[in-house]
């Protein structure tokens, strides 16, 4: 379906440009090529330290967490540096900073997470609402970090980001856990994604240069992986970050049940996302021991994936592959994996604020029925869930819900009551 996109040495057409070429994201900007890192051996070996709140070191060393981590609370800023808000048009909209902040792993341990804080030019930061934005799948390699893509002008959700900035909202974009020169991303681990998103908002509020208010109204928003992160943050916020003035949650294309998302991907277009989910869960939970399931081809392929693969390659290089090509047996048949997957299933707790929840009925990557089941579960729990469907696939859905999401956020921030539609089937 996608074919191969041109490479030049180690360079590759970035995700945003490739999607636009395919006609999937006509509203998204076509970015210039983003180079792959040719080598990062020196950065991988470096041990970088920084006093809390200090300007960060240059280059990729910025992403190497201090060792040991300094004392502090989740959301405390460890380091920061000025960044670009995206391609030239976006740079005119906002000031931006890359940040590293304290957060919490899926096992409840302290970690350091990176991200980007953006404040609209001309807005009063003392009164600006803050949107905690969870990016969609970026990929397992270090070069795929959303903060890198934003700074390079190659972020495939730039249209959504620009819409929020134009509306006057500050935005805290998390990279999630594990983007560093020796990457160890915890993709699809909701118990890590939720805290990373919430602590990204806290970091935005605590970044002195941003001048944002600790009392600002807060919204969590995302699509695909980001939709899952937003819902997890919504569920966990009352206990994890009760001081945040949460006003609304927006989630599209939500991977709510990892089992029901993964099974239809085997041998299909989205197999690369299934493979990446295995990597992410294994990184989050060392007891899963994914390496013990590999055949020789799987050990080589999964190692290569973490070195040099972003979203585009997950689609173009792994479509049609099957778990039997790489694994001697399915991890999802074993109790440790079943238990961890169950821990990361959405819907166990009500979200206390209004939710805008949407999905494409023709989604070929994140199965529609499992998200509809989450909507039904939320409704049963008393969540104010406004559910909307679009007759589109997953990639088209990246942009399709932007206008409705912005309208929902604006109404909630204006104090208008939500109009949930749980009575609709």
Are residues 216 and 117 in contact, defined by beta-carbon separation less than 8 angstroms? no
Rounded to whole angstroms, how far apart are CA atoms 258 and 274? 9
Closest listed residue to residue 219, CA positions, set 405, 54, 51: 405
Contacts of 239 (CB under 8 A, 6+ apart): none
What is d(CA 377, CA 375) in angstroms, rounded to the nearest whole number? Answer: 5
Structure tokens at 92: 């005119």
3-state helix, strand, coil in the chain (%, to 5): 40, 20, 45
pLDDT value for 57: 86
DSSP state of 221: E
Ordered per-residue pLDDT tens for the chain, 425 residues: 333 333 333 333 333 433 332 323 333 333 333 333 333 333 333 344 444 556 778 899 999 999 999 999 999 999 999 999 999 999 999 999 999 999 999 999 999 999 999 999 999 999 999 999 999 999 999 999 999 999 999 999 999 999 999 999 999 999 999 999 999 999 999 999 999 999 999 999 999 999 999 999 999 999 999 999 999 999 999 999 999 999 999 999 999 999 999 999 999 999 999 999 999 999 999 999 999 999 999 999 999 999 999 999 999 999 999 999 999 998 988 999 999 999 999 999 999 999 999 999 999 999 999 999 999 999 999 999 999 999 999 999 999 999 999 999 999 999 999 999 999 97
What is the pTM for the complete model shown?
0.89
For 137-148, what is each residue's pLDDT tens digit? 999 999 999 999
DSSP string, 104-148: E-TTS-EEEEEEEEEEETTS-TTT--EEEEE-----SSGGG-HHH
CB 273 within 8 A of CB 136: no
**CATH assignment of 8-258+343-413, given 3.40.50.360, 3.40.50.720, 3.30.470.10, 3.40.50.1820?**
3.40.50.1820
What angle in degrees, to the nearest 10, is found between the helix axes of 225-240 and 190-206? 70
Token pair in block for residue 71: 């004392």
User: What pLDDT, on a 0 to 100 scale, did the predictor assign at position 54?
Assistant: 63
- Nearest in space to 321 (alpha carbons), one of 258, 264, 266: 266
């Amino acid at each position: 379906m996608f074919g191969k996109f041109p490479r030049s040495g180690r360079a590759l057409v970035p995700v945003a440009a490739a999607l636009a070429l395919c006609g999937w994201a006509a509203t998204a900007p076509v970015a210039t090529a983003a180079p792959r890192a040719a080598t990062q051996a020196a950065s991988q070996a470096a041990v970088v330290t920084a006093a809390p709140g200090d300007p960060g070191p240059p280059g990729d060393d910025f992403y190497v967490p201090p060792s040991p981590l300094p004392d502090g609370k989740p959301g405390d800023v460890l380091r920061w540096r000025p960044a670009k808000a995206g391609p030239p048009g976006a740079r005119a909209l906002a000031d931006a900073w890359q940040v590293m902040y304290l957060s919490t792993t899926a096992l409840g341990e302290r970690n350091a997470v990176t991200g980007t804080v953006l404040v609209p030019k001309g807005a009063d930061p003392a009164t600006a609402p803050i949107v905690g934005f969870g990016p969609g799948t970026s990929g397992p390699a270090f070069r795929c970090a959303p903060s890198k893509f934003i700074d390079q002008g190659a972020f495939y959700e730039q249209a959504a980001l620009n819409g929020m900035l134009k509306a006057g909202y500050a935005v805290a974009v998390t990279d999630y856990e594990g983007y560093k020169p020796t990457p160890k991303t915890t993709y699809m681990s909701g118990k890590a994604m939720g805290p990373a998103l919430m602590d990204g908002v806290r970091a935005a509020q605590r970044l002195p240069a941003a001048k944002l208010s600790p009392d600002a109204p807060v919204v969590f928003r995302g699509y695909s992986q980001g939709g899952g992160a937003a819902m997890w943050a919504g569920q966990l916020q009352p206990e994890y970050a009760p001081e945040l003035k949460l006003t609304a949650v927006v989630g599209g294309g939500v991977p709510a049940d990892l089992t029901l998302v993964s099974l239809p991907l085997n041998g299909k277009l989205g197999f690369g996302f299934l493979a990446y989910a295995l990597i992410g869960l294994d990184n989050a939970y060392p007891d899963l021991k994914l390496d013990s399931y590999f055949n020789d081809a799987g050990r080589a392929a999964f190692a290569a994936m973490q070195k040099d693969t972003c979203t585009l390659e997950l689609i173009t290089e792994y479509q049609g592959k099957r778990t039997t090509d790489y694994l001697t047996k399915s991890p999802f048949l074993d109790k440790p994996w079943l238990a961890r997957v169950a821990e990361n299933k959405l819907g166990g707790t009500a979200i206390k604020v209004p939710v805008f929840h949407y999905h494409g009925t023709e989604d070929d990557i994140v199965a529609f029925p499992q998200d509809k089941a989450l909507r039904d579960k939320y409704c049963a729990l008393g969540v104010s869930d406004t559910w909307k469907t679009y007759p589109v696939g997953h990639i088209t859905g990246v942009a399709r819900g932007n206008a409705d999401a912005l309208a929902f956020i604006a109404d909630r921030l204006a104090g208008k009551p939500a109009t949930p539609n749980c009575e609709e089937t």
